[in-house]
Structure 1
Amino acid sequence: MNQFEEISECMKLLSDKTRLNILALLKEQEMCVCDIVDILATTQPNISQHLRKLKSGGLVNETRRSQWIYYSLNTDSKPYLNEVMNHLPSMKEQIATRTNLQCD
């Protein structure tokens, strides 16, 4: 895949509001699916599908801890995304209102 195709695919991933919200959350801290579901008030299958696309596009990493999978940003290899990430609104307030995020 040439660089234009790679950038084009990344921009397609960023064209979805839910995926941008997920990236904004992950910019603040790593999270599991249940944390994201709680904050964005949507369904687990919806968030899982978006995370699958973001992982496939190389924008997020996943780390298994016991039975949970935690997601974090992976934009180091895509420096052209730094400017976009810098302009995403902070999600600190949304995270803070759910101080004890924890999957059941």
Structure 2
Amino acid sequence: MSQPIEALAETLKLLSDKTRLTILALLKEKEMCVCDIVTVLEMTQPNVSQHLRKLKIGGLVNETRRAQWIYYSLNLEDKTYLNGILEQLPSMKEQLNKLNLECCN
């Protein structure tokens, strides 16, 4: 099913931000909590949370609460038109492997 132009335009606006694209690249690798994303991006938690909030409102990420942590994952089941963009995102495996992500695990 094709997306209405307005919805597609809003999604592409969300993806026009480098930080949000980087977050999607990270979530393409694995589900992550805010603290892990903060560590990888070397940004403040409020800043990362704001980007995640926008991605959630745009329907691009899911959030799942586990104890005191909220984990984020990609939500692209009904957005097959984004597969080409996701395929172009660089792998973030090296950045994730360099870090000792202990805060939520």
TM interval, short-chain normalised = over 0.9
Structure 1 match to 2:35: 34
RMSD: 1.3
Q: Aligned equivalents of 1:100 and 1:55: distance in 2? A: 23
Letter in 1 for 2:6: E
With 90-99 and 54-63 compared, the bigger mean Cα shift is at: 90-99
Give structure 2 stretches of 5+ with no counterpart: none
Structure 1 match to 2:8: 7
Structure 2 match to 1:25: 26
State the SS of the aligned residue for 1:77: coil
Offset, 1:53: 0.1
Q: Aligned equivalents of 1:11 and 1:22: distance in 2? A: 15
Give a deviation string over 1:38-64, Cα, whole Å, max 9, x none: 000000000000000000000000000
Give structure 1 stretches of 5+ with no counterpart: none
Q: Percent identity?
A: 66
Offset, 1:99: 3.5
Q: TM-score, normalised by structure 1?
A: 0.94
Give aligned pairs, total: 103
Q: TM-score, normalised by structure 2?
A: 0.94
